[in-house]
Amino acid sequence: MSDDAHLRLQAAIPALRRYARVLTRDPSQADDLVQDCLERALTRLHQVRGQPDLRAWLFTIAHRLNVNHWRRFRRFVSWTESMQPEQLQEADQLPYLEWQEVVQAFGHLSDDHRQIMMLVSVEGLQYGVVAEILDLPIGTVMSRLSRARAALHSLVEHEERPVLRRVK
């Protein structure tokens, strides 16, 4: 297989790792899932010849592996424990804190809601593509998305937080 396909695969790894963390809630298990997924992907690269963006294909493999195998071995690790907040370079931490509110609320969503939010809202994949990844009818994707957004918002709304608004 061409090196070009390998480059496309390599380019999709950060997104794959992030999605795997949503699936497993545990960074080290997520990376084991990623490795499993990449090994499978390498044997099937002929399936995606000419496809520039391999994310959806990799997410499909990861989702199926998770459903069939990985989920059985999952330990409970809470999202907040497993998150490793990266030190941001920006001098201004305010946006970081505001995003963190939403990220924390996201961590409290159900697995189904987190998956759909990751694929649609964060990865920006089309609804039809997401339906294929999750092996669901598109109507279910839409209603799940709507419920996930409402759930996220109510968590953000009810979170206790200090006042972060900038005072000029």
Partner 1 sequence: MTQPDRPVTEDDLQAWVDGFLSPERLRTVEDWLESHPETLQRVMTWKNEREALRAGLGAELRQPIPARFNISNLRQRSAMHSSMPRMAASIAIALSIGFDSGWFLRDRRVPVGLAAVEQEATIVREASKGSTITESNVVQLTAWGGKMLGRPVQPPDLSAAGYHLVGGQLVTTDHGPACVFFYKDNSGARISLFVRPMYGVDVTAPMRPMQHLPGYLWAQNGLGISMVADTSMSSLHTLADHARDLMAKAS
Interface residues toward partner 1, by CB under 8 A: 3, 6-7, 9-11, 13-15, 17-18, 21, 31, 34-35, 38-39, 42-43, 85-86, 88-92, 94-96, 98-103, 106, 117-118, 120-122, 124, 126-127, 142, 145-146, 149, 152-153, 156, 166, 168
Closest to partner 1 by CB, 38 vs 60, is 38
Q: What DSSP assignment string belongs to 51-98?
A: -S--HHHHHHHHHHHHHHTGGGGPPP--HHHH--PPPP--S--HHHHH
CB of 126 to partner 1, least distance (A): 7
- Sequence letter at residue 146: S
CB of 77 to partner 1, least distance (A): 16
Supply the angle between the helices 138-158 and 94-107 in degrees, to the nearest 10. Answer: 120
Contact 34, 16 (CB under 8 A): yes
CB of 13 to partner 1, least distance (A): 5
